[in-house]
Every structure is written in C-alpha cells, then in structure tokens.
Amino acid sequence: MKLKLRRRNDVSGPVLLTVATLKGHTDEVRGCGFSPDGQRIVSASSDETLKLWDVSTGAVLATLKGHTGGVNGCAFSPDGQRIVSASSADRVRQLGQHPEGVGRWQRR
C-alpha cells in the first residue's frame, strides 16, 4: 500500500501535489502523523503494523508489530519520543524510543 505525502500548491490554488510516495505497508493505511520536529512520519495500517519513516529519504526506519488486528490510528507524543497506536481488535499501545536510536523501539 502507498502512503503519499502531499503539499498545497499555493500558486495555482487549493491543489494538492504529491511530493513523495512511501511504499511498504501490505494493506490500507488508516492513519499517519508527523513527528513534532517534522523529520519522521508514523503510519498505521490494516496490515497490523506501524511504520516509522524518514521524511527526507522516504526510508522505513522501523516496522512496529504487536497489534492483533488492523491499526486504526497513531500519533507522536509532543516531545517526539513516544508513539501511541490504537486497534479495534486489541488495545492501545504506547511505544518508547530506545536511547540508542530510532531503530530500537520497545513496547511499554
């Protein structure tokens, strides 16, 4: 499944332009959000995963697993150090960032 990044084209009016297409999920994307610093995106999918993306490169930094059903939504904490996700199949999960870097997320 594709996740498209779009921006408004203010020159020609309220038209959204695709600036990147992020590929990686195997089912529909149900939600996504930017980190507070704008450097990462987290996406929630029906494939029961969240993916953490690098905005500048479009690379998947981490695939977060643990839900037993499609993930309906996700968000970063205001400080960007945690992600919360929700699934109708099981529960809300909070993920905290490992001190050694973004690739080592752990469930809390």
Q: What is the pLDDT of residues 41-88, one digit of tens each?
A: 999 999 999 999 999 999 999 999 888 899 999 999 999 988 999 988
Report how many domains make up the chain: 1
Averaged pLDDT of the chain: 80
**Residue 88: domain span:** 28-107
Q: 17 lies in a domain?
A: no
CATH number of the domain that residue 59 is part of:
2.40.10
What is the distance, to the nearest Å, from the Cα of residue 42 to the centroid of all Cα atoms in its chain? Answer: 1
Q: 10 lies in a domain?
A: no
The proportion of the chain whose per-residue pLDDT surpasses 90, expressed as a percent, equals 47
Residues in CB range of 18: below 8 A, 6 or more apart:
4, 5, 6
Q: 85 lies in a domain?
A: yes
The proportion of the chain whose per-residue pLDDT surpasses 70, expressed as a percent, equals 68
